[in-house]
Amino acid sequence: MDSLGGFGEGTQNIAPLYEDIAKPACELREHALVELSELEGRANAKLDPGAAAYIRRGAGDDATLAANAATWKRLALRPHVLRDVGAVRTETRLLGVDVAAPIFVAPTALHQLATAEGERATARAAATSGVLMVVSMAASLTIDEIAAAAPGAPRFKQLYILRDRGRTRAMVEAAVAAGCRAIVVAVDGAAVPYGRERVALAPHVAALVDDFDASVTIDDVAELIDRSRVPIVVKGVLRGDDALRCVEAGAHAVYVSNHGGRIVDGCVETATALADVVAAVGDRAEIYVDGGIHSGVDVLRALALGATAVGLGRTVLWGLAIHGEDGACEVIDTMRAELARAMAFCGAPALDAISSDLVLRSHA
């Protein structure tokens, strides 16, 4: 019996499935693909303690933070066999943008906490791995600086609708001018003050909190959609009825997220919310999700529930902390390689072969 767990000639046919996809797209000299289970510990050994705490933190007792990850794990794979998986493809399109995998860098703040190059390193890593980066409104660098680090690479821009609508429109125009292919409008937690540690780490971000508009409604989102020259994604949706309202208002995609469990504890976990949103929206819009995605198997679980693509937040920051640009690239490449392996195991040679019957809620 060989290391793949099979016998004889059959394993020789299976092994090449992963050879090309498992090779990191980034150029690595001293390390191989990362062990995702070791990311946080290795990153914390290199990070400033305050930065490590900021990246990891959840709200309250961290119940939502923990539930996000645990709920994905309770979805057991239910593989098909005797399917042709001689070639596994992970390529797809997100709002018309060709990408190597249904994986993107989720909008997270202050990448300079993880590496001096900040979002420049992240942008280059995403470009090298062939995936989208969603640039946070609270990035360490300007959108022009980030765009210049990876010219021509596809990116989206996340922002909140501010009380100063003129400033909001100016941010949208700046993002489009910098090559952003879509605007991700965050509607989660805009009225909720952040903790003191965020203020201490980033006074310029704290200043933005004072301009968040707690009176934003679907009408404001619809107005932004009407004015925008690029597609609009609505982020922070956790209910099917809200998701449907966003789509009916013209949103091109809805983004299921509870802000990584960082705003209010006790919130519904994103795997559960995703199923509700998919049931309501169906194929009327693309559906993205983040929160607790820690492996390529988790990515497959999300796709089986109906997600179009999956966002990586803390995992990318931990990769940046460990090996900078190469570390972030490794994380993305490893996720994609694990996704391809899981797809092959489940008898799904392409993304359109991933169906809801591939997962079963476990009682463990």
135, containing H or E segment: strand 132-135
CA atoms of 232 and 253, how far apart (whole Å): 7
60 φ/ψ sector (left φ>0, alpha ψ -120 to 50, else beta): left
Of the ranges 52-61, 85-94, 182-191, which is most confident?
85-94
Kindly state whether residue 155 falls inside one of the protein's structural domains: yes
Please check whether residue 2 lies inside any domain of the structure. no
Q: Pairing mode, if any, of strands 92-94 and 97-99?
A: antiparallel
Residue 262 lies in a domain: yes
Please tell me the total count of domains within the chain.
1
Q: Is the pLDDT of residue 26 over 70?
A: no
Give the pLDDT confidence of 44-86 residue by residue, as tens digits: 999 999 999 999 988 898 889 999 999 999 999 999 999 999 9
Give the domain range for residue 131: 33-68+88-339
C-alpha 348/C-alpha 326 separation (Å) is 29
Instruction: Please tell me the distance from the alpha carbon of residue 328 to that of residue 311, in angstroms, as a whole number.
Output: 13
Residue 189 domain-assigned? yes
- List, in sequence order, the alpha helices (H) in 228-346: 240-248, 270-281, 296-305, 314-345
Q: Is residue 82 part of a domain?
A: no
Q: Which two tokens stand for residue 117?
A: 């190059």
Dist. CA 162–CA 2, nearest whole Å: 59
**Cβ(318)–Cβ(268) below 8 Å:** no
Please check the confidence at residue 202 and state whether its pLDDT lies above 90.
no
How far, in Å, CA of 282 to CA of 259, rounded?
23
Q: What single letter denotes the amino acid at residue 53?
A: A
6-11, Cβ contacts within 8 angstroms, sequence gap of 24 or more: none
Q: Does 347 map to a domain?
A: no
Which one is catalytic: 252, 259, 294, 323?
259
363 has a pLDDT exceeding 60: no
Note whether residue 272 is domain-resident.
Answer: yes
Q: How do beta strands 180-186 and 92-94 pair? A: unpaired
What CATH code is carried by the domain that includes residue 219?
Answer: 3.20.20.70
In a domain, 317, yes or no: yes
What are φ and ψ of residue 110, in 5° steps?
55, 60
pLDDT at residue 181, rounded to an integer = 98
Q: What tokens does 256 get?
A: 């299921």
Asked if 363 is an active-site residue, the reply is: no
Q: Which H/E stretch holds residue 99? A: strand 97-99
CB-based contact 125:100 (threshold 8 Å)? no
Could you report the per-residue pLDDT of 129-177, keeping only the tens digit for each? 999 999 999 999 999 999 999 999 999 999 999 999 999 999 999 999 9
Q: What is the tens place of the pLDDT at every residue in 232-283?
A: 999 999 999 999 999 999 999 999 999 888 888 999 999 999 999 999 999 9
Chain-centroid distance, C-alpha 85: 26
* Residue 197, number of CB atoms within 10 A of its CB: 13
How far apart, in whole angstroms, are the C-alpha atoms of residue 46 and residue 186? 31
Beta bridge partners of 310: 103, 289
Q: CA 186: distance to chain centroid?
A: 14
Q: What is the pLDDT of residues 294-344, one digit of tens each?
A: 999 999 999 999 999 999 999 999 999 999 999 999 999 999 999 999 999
Supply the Cα-derived Rg of the chain in whole angstroms: 20
> Residue 82 and residue 191: Cα distance in Å, rounded?
52
Place of tokens 């609505």: 234
